[in-house]
Structure 1
Amino acid sequence: MSKKIIILGAGLSGLLTAYRLQNKGFEIEIIEARERIGGRIHTLHSDTAQVEMGATWFNDIHVNFRTLLKELELDYFEQFMQGTSYFEPFSAAAVQEIQIPQNSPSYRVSGGTSQLIETLKNKLIQVPIHLNESVSSLNFENDKALITTQNQSIEADYVISTLPQALFTNDIIITPALPQKLSAIAEKTHTWMQDSIKVAFVYAEPFWRNKKYSGTFFSNVGPITEFYDQSNSDLDKFALCGFISSGMEMYSKTERLEKLKTQLFKIFGQEALDFTSYHETVWAKEKHTKSAEQIGFMYPHQNNGHPLFRESYCDNRLFFAGTETANQYPGYMEGAVIAAENTVKAILNL
């Protein structure tokens, strides 16, 4: 009889883990709390826009991620950085023109990062994905692990969690309790993007490219802290996209937009205000990314890649495979691929 595996989370780690384990004699199901797959990969698609509200860029050093794209026959293209960029050192100073060296380019997936997610999903055969299901408890006291959601209870031989570590340990009741040292580290593990606010302005025409601007700017003043060209690879959809200060979370969307417009006008002039649509994602408000229990300051990548996350628990029945568990590049898409591959090896070695 085939062994059953339940994977928590339908982001890159979860889908890749399922893809690697299918056809290996397992019965696999994925449980996802959101109404969509992808996790922190979230591309907004519309007639006029294709903007990344989540994971976007990767580099030459991200070898495993690029290998996966090649395997799945997905293209990628270089982030546009040509032309004049801007730097805003402090509020009283004039905006400075800068040139950014092209020595280590960043790349984006053609068609949006969600192309990777959709491709993996389409390759899953007989792997059900349950959306809008939050796991409330895991019980490992009997021969089978019992996974309980708001809709059902499922028995399985193995549970692989790809959830952010703090979310897993704070929001799910686990019986018997996990080792205290693991829980203590997990609660204090930073989830990459958890405090980020990402914004995008969509335009009918790339006014910045027409003026030999790169669309890139960095600011110590804010609210926008870094901004980039987000035009698609076909160059028929145009946008500027980037990050704003996490403190902007306290404002309403309308208030945020007004502050952003003031800064855009200062940097780029009137044309920057002729956008066709505005989009934002406040990741701290995404309850399936950041645990409400997690308060206080955390360093970026704090406790990411901790060796305890790469051990198995509950008699080799509980494994972790989220990007923050990876021993290299944790928090990034590269880390998500590495974590998935490591966990697949561990399961197959059993």
Structure 2
Amino acid sequence: MTTIDPPETDLPVPYKLGRIVGRVAFAVGDSSQDEDQNPGLVPVVGERLIQFVPAEGTRIVSGTDPVTRVDNRPITADLDAQGDLSRNGQKGVKLWCGVWTCKPASPTVLNFEQFEFELTEAHTDEAPLQLWSAAPFVPPEGTVVNTLVVPGGATQGQVLGWGPDGLAWQDSAAGEVSWADVTGKPATFTPTIGTTATTAMAGNTVIPAAPTADTLSGATAVGKSVLKAADQGAARTAIGAGTSSLALGTTATTAAAGNHIHSYNDLTDKPTIPSAPAEERLVPSGGTQNQVLKVGSDGKPAWGVDANTQPPTLSAADVQAGTATTPSLITAKVLADEIDRRVAAAIAAIPSGG
């Protein structure tokens, strides 16, 4: 029969990993390896001494093709020369995340009460799970254990305190202590000496004297003299302005007051303003019905007949000629004369004896 050693591959994607560390040692009496007589610590060393059993025995992984059934098997770990939890010569053990049972694999070498713990993705290489910190505390035999019943109904920020009826959840403000009630507090606090905004200045620090006009850096002699001037006259003297002799008046050598008002009539060389033209009527009078406003021969508006809105009146010759092609007016007399003319012409055209 041929034995097949299948290749190892990585766990499927649904499996997340975490890391566990721990150390085991025996406390023993003094040995001859050192000069003192004090008890010592000897690491527990051996292979396959601790076993980790997963709570989840089987997992179906549907993300593979085909779907895979994974039987989760127990994993054993060694204790190296320093007593550190290890496997295959590397410190620490990596397991998939979930609930595990830690138990002794060789009780004759190392024996302890088995316990459960949960491994999560937060237990990384940089922040592994400390195995023995996850183990429950088992008091020694004969130890009196007192059970404290904690009431329910707490809200965020409350603290457990002793009320009139026993333990009760209280707002954190109820547990505040005033400064006067604090005992054993020091009378003074030693400050932190430094040169920043959050430290204190040393008491023997030499503080420079306040600057004066003479000690200002960057100031010129004139500037310092102005700073030291006792009054306006001294300041003008410092800048070389002297004393002003300006006088108010109305002559060429005096100044006008700031609120002085000049009359327009007193101004010279002012421009001549032309007089307003005489009023001229823009729309002429005298128009009659159906007339329109037109531009006359003198360029001024005048009332007249609008050739576009009132047709011309035809003369008798125009009517007789019959050549007008645009709408026109015919007087009653011209129309009657034209009718008479045409009737007479028609009668004259009748043959005699007919």
More helix by share: 1
Q: Normalising by the residue count of structure 2, what TM-score does the alignment of the two structures yield?
A: 0.15
More strand by share: 1
Which of structures 1 and 2 has the bigger CA Rg? 2
Q: Normalising by the residue count of structure 1, what TM-score does the alignment of the two structures yield?
A: 0.15
With CA pairs under 8 Å and 6+ residues apart, which has the higher RCO, 1 or 2? 1
